[in-house]
Amino acid sequence: MSNSPYETYKDTYEATHEDTYVTYRTPTGPGGTLYESYPQGHPPSSYEPAAPAHDTYRPAYAYEQATAPTEPRLPRQTPAPAAARPAPAPQTGRAAARRAARRKKSDQRPDALRRLLPQALVVAFLAGGTSAFVANDKAIQLSVDGKERTLHTFADDVTELLADEGVDVGAHDIVAPGRTSALANGDEVAVRYGRPVRLTLDGERRQVWTTAHTVDGALKQLGVRAEGAYVSISRSQRIERHGLDLDVRTERSVTVMADGRRRTLRTNAATVREALDEAGIRLHGQDTTSVPAASYPRDGQTITVMRVTGTKEVREEPIAYATERTQDPNSFQGTEVVTRAGEAGLRRVTYTLRTVNGVKQKPRRVRTEVVREPRTQLIKVGTKPMPSSVDGADTLNWSSLASCESGGRPAATDASGTYGGLYQFDTRTWQSLGGSGRPQDAPAAEQTYRAKKLYVRSGASPWPHCGPRLHG
C-alpha cells in the first residue's frame, strides 16, 4: 500500500499501542495477502468480512478495505501527561514506529489489555469456528459413468456424497471406493452403471450385467472368447443404459465323417447343416446325420453323414379271426358245435427297404390298409348234463369194444375219414342217435352213451368184427 496520510497516522498509532493491536489479513488481489494491524477487537468499520467464493476458500476473517476512514477508532483511555507523551514518530514507516513504541510503553497498557481481552476472545472463537468449517470442506473428483467433474462437499462418506449429488445407484452398479468409505480431501469417487445384456452364447440364452460401454468391452468383461467368434452386433456398438440383445457363437472344432472320409474344421456355424455346408458336404434325398441337422454343433463333436437309398415294397398279410362261444342248454356238457365258421381277413402293408452306407436295414412298415375284415367264428357249448345209463346196455364191456375199434382213442378216424371216435361211427348214424357235429369231436362219455343207444336199437351188428367183445 502507498503511504497515504491515513497510513502514516495508523503506523504512528500502532507504534504507541503495540500490545493492544491484532494483526488482520487483507487480500490485496490475485496471488497475495496484505497483513494489517488494527486495535484489538476494533477493525475499521469500513472493513467487512469477505464472503468465500464457491471454489476458492480464503481465511474467514480476512477483511477487504473500501474507503480508508479519516480517523482510526481508538480505545478510550486516560490521556497521559504532556511530558509523558511520546513525540510524534518520524514518518519513516511501520518498522521505525514499532521500534520506538517498544522503547516507550504506556503506563495504561494493563487497563487497555483488560478492556480489549473480551473482544480478543470473541475474535479467537470466531476464528476457530471458521477453521473447523474450512477443515470439513473437501475437494472430490467424481466420475459418473465416465463423465468427470471436481466438486466441493461436506459429505462424510461416499453414500452421502452420491445422495447430495443426486446420483442413484442400483444393485448392478459399481461404486469405488465402497459406498460406506469415508471421504478425505483429494479423494476420487467413480460410479459405473450396470447395463443388462440378453446374451445368447453358443445356443444358450441368459441375461447378464456389464458396466462396459461397448460390445467389445462387454465381451472382455464377461470373459467370452471372441477370437474367431460370430457376433450379431458390431463390436464397437455402444451399450445404452437399457441394454441390448447379443448373439455370440464361439469358434468350435467339429469332425465330420462322410463318404468314407474324415474332416475336421473350426466353425462358428449355428446348425449342424451349416457346418456341413462349410465342409463342402451336401445331403441328398433320404440322407441324414447322426445328430439332428438343425441342432447346435458342440466343440469336439463328431457328425456322421449317412447316405440312404431305399425302395418300397407292398405285402398282403392275413388278419386272424376271433372266436365267440355261447352256452347251449340243449347240448350235453363237453359238446361244442360250430355254428359259423370263422374267416381270416386281409390287409395290405407297405414297407421301406433301406440301405445305409451300403448296409441293408430291417424293413420298416410305413403304411397299413385293410382289404377285407375278418369274420368271427361262432361256437355253441353244451351245458346239459350227460346221461350215462341206458337200460339193457349198461352191463356190457364197452371199454373192450372201444379198444378193438379205435385203440381207446376218442378222436380216432379211419384212413378214409368216414368213421370216427371210440366206436367208429359214421356221421349219419351219429346224428340219427341225437349227436351233433362229428362223433370224434364229442366227449368220450357222450360217444359211449350214443353207442349204448345204438346197441339197444340194432344189437352188436354195427360192429361185425369187434362186437363179440361186448360179452367177453
CATH number for the domain spanning 447: value is 1.10.530.10
Residue type, 463: W
State the average pLDDT over residues 167-178. Answer: 90
Domain boundary among 192, 212, 229: 192
d(C-alpha 371, C-alpha 122), whole Å: 122
The region, left, alpha or beta by phi > 0 then psi within -120 to 50, assigned to residue 228 is left
In this structure, are 84 and 151 located in the same domain?
no
Q: In 10 A of CB 66, how many CB atoms? A: 11
CA-to-CA dists, residue 99 to 29, 84, 92, 102, 103, angstroms: 29, 17, 11, 5, 7
Which residues have CB under 8 Å from 457's CB, separation 6+?
A: none
Q: Name the pLDDT band for 111 (thresholds 50, 70, 90).
A: low
In this structure, are 99 and 150 located in the same domain?
no
Q: Name the pLDDT band for 13 (thresholds 50, 70, 90).
A: very low
User: What is the number of structural domains in the chain?
Assistant: 6
In this structure, are 147 and 182 located in the same domain?
yes
What's the confidence (pLDDT) of residue 330? Answer: 86
Using a pLDDT cut of 70, give the percent of the chain over it.
71
pLDDT at residue 91 is higher than 60: no
What dihedral do alpha carbons 114, 115, 118, 121 form, nearest 10°?
-70
Q: Name the pLDDT band for 118 (thresholds 50, 70, 90).
A: low
Of 438, 444, 436, which Cα lies nearest the Cα of 420?
438
Peptide bond into 385 cis (omega under 30): no
Using a pLDDT cut of 90, give the percent of the chain over it.
52
Which residues have CB under 8 Å from 362's CB, separation 6+?
A: none
Task: Identify which has the larger pLDDT, 74 or 263.
Answer: 263
d(C-alpha 314, C-alpha 440), whole Å: 43
SS3 242: coil
Instruction: Report yes or no on 120 lying in a domain.
Output: no
In this structure, are 209 and 174 located in the same domain?
no
Instruction: Assign residue 371 the CATH number of its domain.
Output: 2.20.230.10
What's the confidence (pLDDT) of residue 103? Answer: 58
Q: Which of 29-33, 112-116, 149-153, 443-447 has the lowest mean pLDDT?
A: 29-33
SS3 196: strand
Instruction: Report yes or no on 57 lying in a domain.
Output: yes
State the average pLDDT over residues 38-59. Answer: 41
Instruction: Report yes or no on 30 lying in a domain.
Output: yes
d(C-alpha 313, C-alpha 354), whole Å: 11
Instruction: Report yes or no on 352 lying in a domain.
Output: yes
128-132: which pairs have CB atoms within 8 A and are 24 or more residues apart?
129/60, 130/59, 130/60, 130/61, 131/60
Q: In 10 A of CB 342, how many CB atoms? A: 16
pLDDT at residue 360 is higher than 70: yes
Q: Name the pLDDT band for 89 (thresholds 50, 70, 90).
A: very low
* pLDDT tens digits, one per residue of 176-187: 998 889 999 999
What's the confidence (pLDDT) of residue 96? Answer: 56
**b/e code 415-438 from CB counts within 10 Å (16+ = b):** eeeebbbbbbbbbebbeebebbbb
Instruction: Give the CA angle between residues 106, 112, 116 to the nearest 5°.
Output: 145
Instruction: Report yes or no on 337 lying in a domain.
Output: yes
What's the confidence (pLDDT) of residue 225? Answer: 83
pLDDT at residue 127 is higher than 70: no
Structural contact between residues 423 and 402, judged by C-beta atoms closer than 8 angstroms: yes
Phi, psi of 105 (to 5 degrees): -85, 145
pLDDT at residue 202 is higher than 50: yes
What's the confidence (pLDDT) of residue 135? Answer: 57
The pLDDT mean for the chain works out to 78
In this structure, are 230 and 244 located in the same domain?
yes
Peptide bond into 177 cis (omega under 30): yes
Instruction: Assign residue 211 the CATH number of its domain.
Output: 3.10.20.30
**Any idea which residue has 355261447 for its cell?**
326
Beta bridge partners of 214: 238
d(C-alpha 105, C-alpha 19), whole Å: 9
CA-to-CA dists, residue 300 to 85, 116, 128, 272, 436, angstroms: 110, 94, 76, 13, 78
Residue type, 413: T
What's the confidence (pLDDT) of residue 437? Answer: 86
d(C-alpha 411, C-alpha 438), whole Å: 10
Max Cα distance, the chain (Å): 200
In this structure, are 15 and 85 located in the same domain?
yes
- How far out from the chain centre does Cα 135 lie? 51
**Any idea which residue has 351245458 for its cell?**
383
Instruction: Report yes or no on 291 lying in a domain.
Output: yes
In this structure, are 9 and 84 located in the same domain?
yes
d(C-alpha 230, C-alpha 203), whole Å: 12
* pLDDT tens digits, one per residue of 282-334: 998 889 999 999 999 999 999 999 999 988 999 999 999 999 999 999 887 87
Q: Which of 126-130, 196-200, 358-362, 410-414 has the lowest mean pLDDT?
A: 126-130
State the average pLDDT over residues 47-65. Answer: 37
d(C-alpha 452, C-alpha 455), whole Å: 5
Q: How many residues are recorded in the chain?
A: 472
> Would the pTM of this model clear 0.85, i.e. be above it?
no
Instruction: Report yes or no on 244 lying in a domain.
Output: yes
> What range defines the domain where residue 161 resides?
138-192
Q: In 10 A of CB 289, how many CB atoms? A: 20
In this structure, are 16 and 97 located in the same domain?
yes
pLDDT at residue 466 is higher than 90: yes
What's the confidence (pLDDT) of residue 337? Answer: 87
* pLDDT tens digits, one per residue of 376-410: 999 999 898 878 888 889 999 999 999 999 999 99
Which residues have CB under 8 Å from 155's CB, separation 6+?
A: 138, 161, 163, 164, 183
**Any idea which residue has 462396459 for its cell?**
212
pLDDT at residue 117 is higher than 90: no
**b/e code 359-388 from CB counts within 10 Å (16+ = b):** eeeeeeeeeeeeeeebeebebbebeeebee
In this structure, are 206 and 234 located in the same domain?
yes
Q: What is the DSSP letter of 422?
A: T
d(C-alpha 456, C-alpha 445), whole Å: 17
In this structure, are 31 and 102 located in the same domain?
yes
In this structure, are 373 and 457 located in the same domain?
no
In this structure, are 341 and 285 located in the same domain?
no
Instruction: Report yes or no on 292 lying in a domain.
Output: yes
User: Terminal CA-to-CA distance of the chain, rounded, Å?
Assistant: 176
Domain boundary among 355, 380, 405: 380
What's the confidence (pLDDT) of residue 58? Answer: 36
Q: Name the pLDDT band for 128 (thresholds 50, 70, 90).
A: low
